[in-house]
C-alpha cells in the first residue's frame, strides 16, 4: 500500500489534541458547509452553460462565466443538487480534517468540470488551465517540478490522442481531457496522474457496459477523471483515519491523517 501512495500525502500537523478538538472540527464543519453551498450551484451552472452552447453561443470563457452568473436564478433541483452538495461537503471535510485545505479548490473545480462535461461535452479551458497553474503553486511538488509534470503529461497524452486519430480516423481523447489530466499531474505528480487515468478508463469502461451503443458511442470522460481523482485523494485519507494504512510523509503540502 505504501508504494502507490508514496509521495502523495504529507502530514502538515496531527489533528488537534483533545483540548483543541472542538476548534479543529469546527473548521472542518465550516469547510463542509461552504463546499456544500458551492456544490448546490454546480449543476445549475453546468445546465446554464450547456443551454447557452445549444443556443449558439461560442465555447469561450465569457460564455462560461455568464452562465455562472445565471446559475443562482435557475430552478432548484433538490435531489440532484443535494446529492452533489453532500458529496462535495464530505470531500472537503476529509481534506480539511487531514490538513489539506489548499486542496479544497481542486475538489471543487473537478466537480464543476465533471458537471459541465456531462451536460455540454466540453472541459472548458477557462477552468482547466487556471487549475493547472494553481497546481504548480499549491500542489505536492515545487513549482518547477509540478510544471514539468504537467508538460510531460500534456505532451504524452496529446501524442497518444494524435496517434489514435491517425490510426482510427476519429478522436478518442479530447483536448480538454488532456489538459485536465495535465493539471492533475501538476497537483499530484506524474505517477498519480497515470494511475488516475487508468482508474478513469476503468470507470468509463464500466459505464459503457450499461448503456445503449456501448463503447462505440462517444461519452464525456470528465466525470470519470473527476471520480477517479477524488477516489485517489480521499480513499487513502479515509483509510488512514481508520488506522488501516500508513501514508508516508515525504512531500510537504499534502493532506494526511495522523497514524493510529
Distance between CA 184 and CA 162 in Å, rounded? 21
Distance between CA 223 and CA 250 in Å, rounded? 30
To the nearest whole number, what is the mean pLDDT of the chain?
76
Confidence band of 241 (pLDDT split at 50, 70, 90):
low
CA-nearest of 127, 145, 128 to 252 is 145
Residues 6+ away with beta carbon under 8 Å from 216: none
Interval 78-106 mean pLDDT? 69
Residue 154 has pLDDT above 80, yes or no: yes
Residue 63 has pLDDT above 80, yes or no: yes
Confidence band of 237 (pLDDT split at 50, 70, 90):
low
To which residue does cell 461535452 refer? 121
Confidence band of 216 (pLDDT split at 50, 70, 90):
low
- For 150-179, letters b (16+ CB in 10 Å) and e give beebbebbeeebeeeeeeeeeeebbbbbbb
Mean pLDDT check: name the lowest of 81-90, 168-177, 182-191.
81-90
Q: Tell me, what's the pLDDT at 41?
A: 80
Q: What is the pLDDT of residues 18-61, one digit of tens each?
A: 334 555 666 667 777 777 777 778 888 888 898 899 888 998 99
How is residue 223 written as a grid cell? 466525470
pTM of the model: 0.78
Mean pLDDT check: name the lowest of 22-36, 118-132, 224-238.
22-36
To which residue does cell 504524452 refer? 156
Mean pLDDT check: name the lowest of 19-23, 120-124, 189-193, 214-218.
19-23
To which residue does cell 462505440 refer? 216
Confidence band of 131 (pLDDT split at 50, 70, 90):
very high
Distance between CA 154 and CA 133 in Å, rounded? 13
Q: Which residue has the higher pLDDT, 253 or 200?
A: 200
Interval 131-149 mean pLDDT? 90
Amino acid at each position: 500500500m505504501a508504494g502507490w501512495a508514496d509521495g502523495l500525502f504529507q502530514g502538515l500537523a496531527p489533528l488537534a489534541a483533545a483540548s483543541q478538538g472542538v476548534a479543529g472540527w469546527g473548521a472542518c464543519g465550516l469547510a463542509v458547509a461552504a463546499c456544500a453551498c458551492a456544490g448546490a450551484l454546480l449543476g445549475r451552472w453546468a445546465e446554464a452553460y450547456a443551454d447557452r452552447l445549444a443556443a449558439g453561443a461560442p465555447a469561450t470563457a465569457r460564455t462560461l462565466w455568464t452562465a455562472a452568473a445565471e446559475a443562482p436564478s435557475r430552478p432548484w433541483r433538490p435531489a440532484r443538487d443535494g446529492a452533489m452538495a453532500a458529496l462535495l461537503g464530505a470531500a472537503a471535510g476529509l481534506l480539511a480534517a487531514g490538513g489539506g485545505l489548499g486542496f479544497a479548490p481542486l475538489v471543487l473545480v473537478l466537480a464543476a468540470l465533471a458537471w459541465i462535461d456531462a451536460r455540454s461535452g466540453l472541459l472548458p479551458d477557462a477552468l482547466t488551465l487556471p487549475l493547472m497553474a494553481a497546481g504548480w503553486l499549491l500542489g505536492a511538488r515545487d513549482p518547477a517540478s509540478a510544471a514539468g509534470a504537467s508538460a510531460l503529461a500534456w505532451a504524452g497524452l496529446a501524442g497518444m490522442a494524435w496517434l489514435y486519430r491517425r490510426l482510427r480516423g476519429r478522436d478518442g481523447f479530447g483536448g480538454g481531457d488532456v489538459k485536465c489530466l495535465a493539471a492533475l499531474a501538476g497537483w499530484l505528480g506524474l505517477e498519480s496522474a497515470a494511475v488516475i487515468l487508468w482508474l478513469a478508463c476503468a470507470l468509463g469502461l464500466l459505464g459503457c457496459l450499461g448503456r445503449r451503443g456501448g463503447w462505440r458511442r462517444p461519452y464525456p470522460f470528465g466525470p470519470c477523471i473527476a471520480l477517479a481523482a477524488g477516489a485517489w485523494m480521499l480513499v487513502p485519507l479515509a483509510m488512514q483515519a481508520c488506522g488501516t494504512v500508513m501514508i508516508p510523509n515525504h512531500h510537504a503540502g499534502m493532506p494526511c491523517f495522523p497514524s493510529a
